[in-house]
Chains A and B, each alone.
Chain A
């Protein structure tokens, strides 16, 4: 792969609960542990990112000390169950959080800190350098605007193009996403398009400013299986053209197809990270093992269906002490229920947060 040295999780950050509380107050902790030169080469550098929501029932920590980095042109898949914090990680990067959210840590994009960036500067980056593809193309498009208007809106935010220029650009953008009969679609409304075509429009909107980084929040979940493959090919094409991609999904097949690296999240934390091939062939965290075992296969024995992971995802308002996965884990130890394991590097260029894999992390 061309992106061989593209992505790496920084393993020097403590991801344990105690470590997080000590280190999130600003960038001080990060700067001490990461040499400035190392971060300069990365396109996106997320460090100790925590996102909390004030709810009437208490504080929910949706993202808990997540760190990763991505080089230009790299691709990273974030997987996990619903509520694992994978989508909120993306929204935190984009600065699209509701008012009751509190964000801590650091998100550096092209060398600039995005957290606490002034809205004007952030609006300049969004859509130009940094773009997002949404989960449901049925709702991500304004029902009152034609396809042309949807696309030229994005151009008008950033460049003062004339109507005619904007239309020409919009047509080009549609052609780049292989929209059938592109010229005819310009004057149509979203409800006149199929789901796959709408998602092409959303991707065209995201790509129209040639961003350096594309964040995709479950871009194929709302689509038919046959359309999914087309959309994945389209995203792969953007990646080949040099756009870095962060893809959030719960579909491991999508990650296998599109991403060099994969990050598994559980209850807001990263539990495993590594090269996609390595993680899928040798999963180390019991949760990753469970996720992979739950995928149905063609040669499944129909009399012995696959076992899903026992239990329910944890209640973020009442996280267990220690490892959040401990109540569902098939190899849980006594220590797991008391102390959360740190995310530690292993010899295959990945990292895992589990005492089974990292016995040296056990407190003596």
Chain B
């Protein structure tokens, strides 16, 4: 009943629907876009190093410093970046929300211990942590997910804990208790629905964070290996040759920016649709 009205509200929001359309296009491009290109990801053209876009020859976005087609690299790089962003937001949604809600709701010693664990994970030097993981897990795409997953939910846990501390003082929580609700029931039916606003916002903030962290890890030689690539890697390379070959930064950068914007429009719409007061 209520879910139906939420979806209807979402469908009536043009900004949110625009975001959905753009995201769908980008996902489709990531999955099937390489078919639009006449070149393969590892084709090297020695006569076209750092060449500007040339539509007639099939180099829609130009080439990179190694003479490879930027279009096919941007399109395929989207796979890794989108996957990392999605995984990061899911991890912070599931682990961060559950962890923060439990800590805030139980309070007292449970809260102290749980939040000290978060503090410890926060204060671990990230690079050291990455090297440690590489030693034990090895270099692969999954290392990236584990590394990002291990730290990305910390912010969410803190935000959710703070919100829960405030929410559990509200009178309707007391009322639910007075009507015989168990702790679990209060958490599921009363606390978590009221957390949606801040949770959706921080979930969206996590996506660019994760995509950029991935590029940093790839730069260190973890995760994505040549000739595969990601938006983060492409942006990093593009930034180095920004003055002589601006298209190398422009195209992957624009894709990242448009994706994030679309996520934000969608997230705002989702939050408004789920909030009955809107």
Q: Chain A interface (Cβ within 8 Å of chain B)?
A: 94, 96, 99, 119, 123-128, 131-132, 134, 136, 139-146, 148-149, 153-154, 156-158, 187, 189, 191, 202, 205-206
Contact = CB atoms under 8 A, between A and B. Distances in A.
Contacts of B170: 139
Nearest to A215: B178
Contact of B180 (A124, A142, A144, A145): A124
Contacts of B241: none
Contacts of A158: 180
Interface of B: 1-2, 107-108, 170-172, 174-182, 185, 189-190, 193-194, 196, 275-277
Contacts of B190: 142, 145
B171 A136 contact: yes
Given A123-B181, A191-B276, 7 more contacts: A126-B178, A126-B179, A126-B180, A132-B175, A143-B194, A145-B190, A157-B179
Contacts of A191: 276-277
Contacts of B176: 142, 153
B1 A157 contact: no
A131 B189 CA distance: 19
A154 B180 contact: yes
Given A142-B193, A157-B185, A149 B2 contact: yes
B255 to A, nearest CB: 36
Contacts of A132: 175, 178-179
A90 B31 CA distance: 62
A131 B108 contact: no
Contacts of B1: 146, 148, 187
Given A99-B108, A142-B193, A146-B2, A157 B175 contact: no
A96 B177 CA distance: 8
A136 B171 CA distance: 8
Given A158-B180, A206-B179, A96 B276 contact: no
Chain B interface, DSSP helix/strand/loop, else mixed: helix
A145 B193 contact: yes
Contact of A140 (B107, B108, B171): B171
Given A149-B2, A191-B277, A140 B180 contact: no
Contacts of A205: 175, 179
A145 B180 CA distance: 17
B276 A189 contact: yes
16 contacts: A96-B178, A99-B107, A99-B108, A119-B182, A123-B182, A126-B179, A131-B178, A134-B171, A139-B170, A143-B277, A144-B193, A146-B1, A149-B2, A154-B179, A157-B180, A202-B175
B182 A144 contact: no
Contacts of A99: 107-108
A184 to B, nearest CB: 13
Contacts of B179: 126-127, 131-132, 153-154, 157, 205-206
A59 B35 CA distance: 75
A189 B276 CA distance: 7
B122 to A, nearest CB: 28
Q: Which 6 A-B pairs have the closest CB atoms?
A: A127-B180, A127-B179, A126-B180, A189-B276, A144-B193, A139-B171
A71 to B, nearest CB: 22
A120 B276 CA distance: 33
Specify which of A134, A136, A141, A144 lies most central, judged by the most chain B CB atoms within 10 Å of its CB.
Answer: A144
Nearest to B275: A144
Contacts of B2: 146, 149, 187
A140 B172 contact: yes
Contacts of A96: 174, 177-178
Contact of A126 (B107, B172, B177, B196): B177
Nearest to B173: A142
A131 B182 CA distance: 15
Nearest to A155: B179
Contacts of B175: 132, 134, 140-141, 202, 205
B180 A141 contact: no
B113 to A, nearest CB: 17
A148 B194 CA distance: 17
Nearest to B171: A139
A338 B199 CA distance: 58
Contacts of B171: 134, 136, 139-140
A128 B275 CA distance: 31
Nearest to B178: A132
B174 to A, nearest CB: 6
A139 B166 CA distance: 13
B185 A127 contact: no
Specify which of B176, B178, B180, B181 lies most central, judged by the most chain A CB atoms within 10 Å of its CB.
Answer: B178
A177 B178 CA distance: 19
B4 to A, nearest CB: 10
Contacts of A157: 179-182, 185
A189 B277 CA distance: 8
Contacts of A125: 180
Nearest to B174: A96
Contacts of A131: 178-179
A139 B172 contact: yes
A277 B179 CA distance: 33
A94 B179 CA distance: 10
Contacts of A153: 176, 179, 181, 185, 189
A182 B17 CA distance: 35
B84 to A, nearest CB: 31
Contacts of A145: 189-190, 193
